[in-house]
Amino acid sequence: MQHGPAVRRRKLGAELRALRTSAGLTSGEAARLVGWHQSKVSRIETGTSGVKPADVRLLLEAYGVADSQLRELLMVLAGSDDSGGRHHWWHAYRGVLPPTYRDFISLESQAGAMRTLETTVVPGLLQTPEYARAVTSAAVEGLPEDRLDTLVEVRLARQDVLRADPPLELSAVLDEAVLRREVGGPGVMARQLERLVEAARLPQVRLQVLPFAAGAHIGVTGPFVIFSFSSTSDLDVVVLDHLTSSLYLERKEDLQAYTEAFNALQIHALSPEDSLDFIAGTAAGA
C-alpha cells in the first residue's frame, strides 16, 4: 500500500525493466546506449529514485518502443506535462489541487476502463454541476467561493473522458444509499437522478444499483476504484480514498481481491436494465 507517486515510480520502473528485457538488453547495455551509469538504470527500474520524462523518452527510444499509447502512458507516469504532444489540462490547477488528486486525474485520463463501487455519493464522472458543488462544499467546509468554483470546474472537466475517442469505459455499482441521500436539496437531487438515467443509457457506461434488500455485502468496508489500462495490465491499480489522501494498491493479489469483490457486487446488484428502472422510479418518487 503506497501513496500515488511511489506507486507510479514502481510501476514505471517495472514496465521499463520489462521493455528492456524484451529488447534483449542488460541494464549495463541499456545504460551505455543512453550514456548513463548502470546504477541509474537500476534505480529507475526499482523505483528507488524519480525519473525525468526526458530520461523515459531516451529509454523508450533505446528499447525501440513504437506503441504510441504505451509511450504516452509511461510519460504520464513520469510526470510529463505534455506526453506525445498531448496537453494535460489538470496541470493548470497545480496551485489548487493536492498532488494525490492530480495523480488520480492523470490515471483516470489515461485508463481504458474504470470500475468503481460508491456507497455514499454519485461518482464524480456522473455528477451534475449543482450536485458537485454541494458535495464539495460539504466535504471541505469553509472553502472560499472562488476555490469552490475551481474545484467544481475540475470535477466537470474530468467528465470529458467519457466523451473522448475512445471513451473511458465506466462500470459503476452504486449502493441504494447513493440514490436516497438528499444532496443539495430536492431539486438538485432530482436533476442528479435524471443525469444518472441519461448516463446509464450511454454505451460506455454500465451502471448497477445494489439495493438495500441485498443486505450486507463485500462492499460495506467502503468505496474503491480499479483503473485498467489497455496497453498493459501490469499498470492496473486500485485506489482507496481517505479524508486527506488516497492510497494505491498495486500488488497482483490486491488487484485480484478487489476485482473478485467487484465481480461479486455486480452479481448481487440489479441488472443494468433493472437498475435504470430503479433509478427512474426513485426519481419519480423524489
**Residue range 100-123: mean pLDDT, rounded:** 89
Per-residue pLDDT, 96: 83
Residue 51 above 50 pLDDT? Answer: yes
Residue 111 above 60 pLDDT? Answer: yes
Task: Please give the Cα distance from 240 to 222 (Å, whole number).
Answer: 8
Mean pLDDT for all residues in the chain: 87
Residue 286 above 90 pLDDT? Answer: no
Q: Is 201 helix (H, G, I), strand (E, B) or coil?
A: coil
Per-residue pLDDT, 226: 95
Element (H, E) at 249: strand 246-249
Per-residue pLDDT, 2: 45
Task: Please give the Cα distance from 192 to 178 (Å, whole number).
Answer: 11
CA angle 74, 80, 82 (to 5 degrees): 105
Q: Is 272 helix (H, G, I), strand (E, B) or coil?
A: helix
List the grid coordinates of 84.
506525445
Residue 188 above 70 pLDDT? Answer: yes
Residue 42 above 50 pLDDT? Answer: yes
Per-residue pLDDT, 82: 46
Per-residue pLDDT, 86: 40
Residue 245 above 70 pLDDT? Answer: no
pTM of the model: 0.79
**pLDDT tens figures, 76-89:** 777 665 443 344 67
List the grid coordinates of 194.
435524471
Task: Please give the Cα distance from 268 to 215 (Å, whole number).
Answer: 10
**pLDDT tens figures, 30-40:** 999 999 999 99
Residue 187 above 70 pLDDT? Answer: yes
